């Protein structure tokens, strides 16, 4: 008869026999299925910190160099804010600029590796631009739930469609083009909308990351909204291994609140690009997250 058991004292020794487990595993969150003969590991560890500076706060006059310098300062990913002036009241840049800056940063060697371009698509028609951004070198295409459900399912800027975009189908489409997928929610959107998307038994349709906005999307340098933390806590409770990204107002002052709630992917624009030592800020943000694993 199988039973699920949470080990206490012997947990660490037990885990050391699983050679594939890293020595930094969070031993508190590990569950096993155990019977007389065998013990099977069910769940490993909370995901490690990922620091993703938002290049919205970089010097756009030398964006390529800003990107390579930021990776050199220890950033894991670059958070690339794409704004269309419709979904948000600001405009940044499109795929041609992403193509140019991509050549300044080595492509990640593995999924979610160093150099990942985390494209945060604050655009009204997310399905239309998937192929363009894939060609430009985007690794992780993160669209807004609110934009998807209010937009059409046309697959290119030239195409038209009356059909509405289904977020699950959009995730599948992004995956089919070899990218990772993220789904973002604005401050006014309930976290509940993500559960149906994340609980899908069709794994191709399940996003690789959830982004909880901690400011209204559109501009850098805004004040962090701690009232968004219950959304992060709920996601972390339900999905211990999910990449949960927070974006807006993250700094050395607010990181503890976000890390306590369970966020592991930290976007920071003005805090990194406005710092005397971006490397120190990146290291402190990372330490705050990893110290809670």
Query: Considering only residues 75-94, where is the footprint of ligand 5SP by CB under 6 A?
Result: 79, 81
Dist. CA 82–CA 33, nearest whole Å: 44
Interface with ligand 5SP (CB under 6 A), residue from 246, 247, 261, 263: 247
- Give the nearest distance from C-beta 84 to ligand 5SP in angstroms: 12
Q: Name 268's bridge partners.
A: 53
Side-chain-facing half-sphere of 100: CA atoms under 13 Å: 12
Please give the helix or strand (H or E) that residue 79 lies within, else none. Answer: strand 77-83
Sheet holding 50-53, edge to edge: 50-53, 265-268, 243-247, 209-213, 180-185, 140-144, 116-122, 77-83
- Give the nearest distance from C-beta 174 to ligand 5SP in angstroms: 19
Spot the catalytic one: 59, 84, 247, 280.
Answer: 247
Q: Is 54 a residue that touches ligand 5SP (CB under 6 A)?
A: yes
| Residue 208 is among the residues annotated as catalytic for this protein | no
| Residue 199 is among the residues annotated as catalytic for this protein | no
Q: Is 44 a residue that touches ligand 5SP (CB under 6 A)?
A: no
> Which residue in this structure is represented by tokens 């501009």?
219
Interface with ligand 5SP (CB under 6 A), residue from 115, 207, 217, 278: 217
Dist. CA 90–CA 113, nearest whole Å: 29
Q: Is 126 a residue that touches ligand 5SP (CB under 6 A)?
A: no
Q: Is 137 a residue that touches ligand 5SP (CB under 6 A)?
A: no
Q: Is 186 a residue that touches ligand 5SP (CB under 6 A)?
A: no
The 3-state DSSP class for residue 33 equals: strand
Residues marked as catalytic = 81, 247
Question: Which residues are near ligand 5SP by CB under 6 A?
Answer: 54, 56-57, 79, 81, 120, 215, 217-222, 247-250, 267-271
């Amino acid at each position: 008869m199988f039973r699920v058991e949470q080990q206490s004292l012997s947990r660490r020794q037990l885990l050391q026999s699983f050679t594939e487990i890293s020595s930094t595993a969070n031993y508190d969150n590990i569950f096993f299925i155990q019977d007389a003969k065998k013990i099977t590991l069910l769940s490993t560890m909370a995901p490690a910190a990922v620091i993703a500076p938002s290049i919205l706060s970089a010097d756009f006059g030398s964006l390529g160099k800003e990107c390579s310098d930021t990776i050199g300062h220890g950033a894991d990913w670059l958070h690339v804010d794409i704004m269309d002036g419709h979904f948000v009241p600001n405009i940044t840049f499109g795929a041609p600029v992403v193509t140019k800056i991509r050549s300044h940063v080595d492509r990640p060697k593995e999924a979610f590796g160093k150099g990942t371009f985390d494209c945060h698509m604050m655009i009204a028609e997310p399905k239309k631009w998937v192929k363009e951004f894939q060609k430009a070198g985007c690794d992780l295409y993160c669209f807004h739930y609110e934009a998807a459900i209010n937009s059409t399912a046309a697959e290119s800027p030239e195409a038209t469609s009356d059909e509405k975009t289904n977020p699950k189908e959009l995730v599948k489409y992004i995956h089919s083009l070899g990218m990772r997928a993220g789904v973002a929610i604005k401050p006014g959107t309930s976290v509940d909308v993500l559960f149906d998307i994340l609980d899908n038994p069709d794994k191709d349709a399940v996003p690789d990351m959830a982004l909880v906005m901690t400011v209204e999307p559109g501009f850098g340098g805004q004040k962090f909204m701690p009232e968004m933390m219950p959304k992060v806590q709920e996601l972390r409770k339900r999905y211990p291994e999910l990449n949960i990204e927070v974006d807006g107002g993250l700094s050395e002052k607010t990181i503890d609140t976000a890390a306590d709630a369970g966020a592991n992917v930290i976007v920071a624009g003005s805090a990194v690009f406005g710092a005397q030592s971006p490397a120190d800020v990146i290291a402190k943000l990372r330490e705050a997250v990893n110290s809670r694993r």
